[in-house]
Structure 1
Amino acid sequence: MPLIIKKRGATYYARGTVAGQRIYESTGCSRRADAHAWATRYEYQIMQRHSLGEEATLTFAEAALDYMNAGGERKHLGKILDHFGPDFLARDMNNAAINAAALDLYPTAAPATITRQLITPIRAVITMAAEDGRTQLRKFRTRGSGAVRTRWLHPEEFETFLDQAGAHLVPILAAMVGTGARVSELLRTDVKNFYAETGQIWLDETKNEYPRMLKMPGRARDLILAQGIPAQGKLFRRPDGKPYTLTPRQTPMKTAFQAARVRAGLGPDVIPHSLRHTWATWFYCATKDYGGLLDLGGWRVSDMAQRYRKIAPDHLPDMLAAQGWDFTRLGRDIPAPDPNLVASQGLHLVK
Structure 2
Amino acid sequence: MRVSKRGDVWWVSFTTPHGQRIRRSAGTDDKTRALEYLDRLKVQYWEQQRLGVKPDRSWQDAAVRWVKETSHKRTREKDIAKLRRLDRYLGHLMLSQVTRDVIDQIGERLAQTSSPSNANRYLAVIRSILRRARDDWEWVSHIPKVQLYREPKQRIRFLTPDEARRLLTELPEHLREMAQFALTTGLRQRNVSYLQWSQVDMSRRVAWIHPDEAKAGRAIGVPLNEDALDVLRRRLGRHGDYVFTYQGKPVDRCSTKAWKRALERAGIEQSFRWHDLRHTWASWHVQSGTPLQELMELGSWASYDMVLRYAHLAADHLRGAASRIDGTFLTHKQKPQLVRLS
TM-score by length of 1: 0.51
- Please say if 1:175 is aligned against 2:187: no
In structure 2, the CA distance between the partners of 1:286 and 1:124, relative to structure 1 (3 Å rule), is farther
State the distance in 2 between where 1:215 and 1:18 align: 59
In structure 2, the CA distance between the partners of 1:293 and 1:58, relative to structure 1 (3 Å rule), is farther
- Please say if 1:123 is aligned against 2:127: yes
Shift of 1:276: 4.9
State the distance in 1 between where 2:293 and 2:272 align: 20
State the distance in 1 between where 2:295 and 2:46 align: 51
Alignment match, 1:151: 156
Higher RCO, 1 vs 2 (CA within 8 Å, ≥6 residues apart): 1
Alignment match, 2:338: none
Matched AA of 2:69: A
State the distance in 1 between where 2:254 and 2:38 align: 44
Matched AA of 1:232: H
Matched AA of 1:253: W
Alignment match, 2:95: 89
Tell me if the contact between 2:58 and 2:94 (Cα under 8 Å) persists in the aligned partners: yes
Alignment match, 1:109: 114
In structure 2, the CA distance between the partners of 1:202 and 1:114, relative to structure 1 (3 Å rule), is same
Shift of 1:196: 1.0
Tell me if the contact between 1:151 and 1:269 (Cα under 8 Å) persists in the aligned partners: no
Alignment match, 1:69: 68
Tell me if the contact between 2:127 and 2:146 (Cα under 8 Å) persists in the aligned partners: yes
Matched AA of 1:179: L
Alignment match, 1:80: 86
Shift of 1:48: 4.5
- Please say if 1:141 is aligned against 2:147: yes
1:231 to 232, 235, 238: 238
Matched AA of 1:199: A
Shift of 1:217: 1.6
State the Cα deviation string for residues 285-342 of structure 1 (Å, max 9, x = none).
Answer: 65868xx757xxxxxxxxxx998365242997x99xxxxxxxxxxxxxxxxxxxxxxx
Tell me if the contact between 1:179 and 1:279 (Cα under 8 Å) persists in the aligned partners: no
- Please say if 1:199 is aligned against 2:242: no
Does the residue aligned with 2:189 lie in a helix, a strand or coil? Answer: coil
1:100 to 105, 114, 124: 105
Matched AA of 1:124: S
In structure 2, the CA distance between the partners of 1:186 and 1:149, relative to structure 1 (3 Å rule), is same
Structure exhibiting the larger radius of gyration computed from Cα positions = 2
TM-score by length of 2: 0.52
State the Cα deviation string for residues 121-178 of structure 1 (Å, max 9, x = none).
Answer: 212222333442735465423346x51305254xxx5766555534942443423763
Shift of 1:97: 0.7
1:167-316 equivalences under 5 Å are 168=173, 169-175=176-182, 178-181=186-189, 186-187=192-193, 189=194, 195-197=199-201, 199-200=207-208, 215=220, 217-219=222-224, 222=229, 224-232=231-239, 235-236=243-244, 250-257=256-263, 262=267, 270-276=272-278, 286=294, 293=301, 308=306, 311-313=309-311
Tell me if the contact between 1:175 and 1:216 (Cα under 8 Å) persists in the aligned partners: no
State the distance in 2 between where 1:306 and 1:19 align: 58
Tell me if the contact between 1:200 and 1:213 (Cα under 8 Å) persists in the aligned partners: no
Matched AA of 1:255: R
Alignment gaps of 5+ in structure 2: 2-12, 28-33, 74-78, 286-291, 318-342
State the distance in 1 between where 2:109 and 2:180 align: 40
Alignment gaps of 5+ in structure 1: 3-13, 295-304, 320-351
Determine what percentage of the aligned residue pairs are the same residue.
16
Alignment match, 2:25: 34
- Between Structure 1 and Structure 2, how many residues are aligned? 264
In structure 2, the CA distance between the partners of 1:231 and 1:83, relative to structure 1 (3 Å rule), is same
State the Cα deviation string for residues 172-196 of structure 1 (Å, max 9, x = none).
Answer: 34237632225xx855x4x757621
State the distance in 2 between where 1:111 and 1:248 align: 25
State the distance in 2 between where 1:216 and 1:70 align: 30
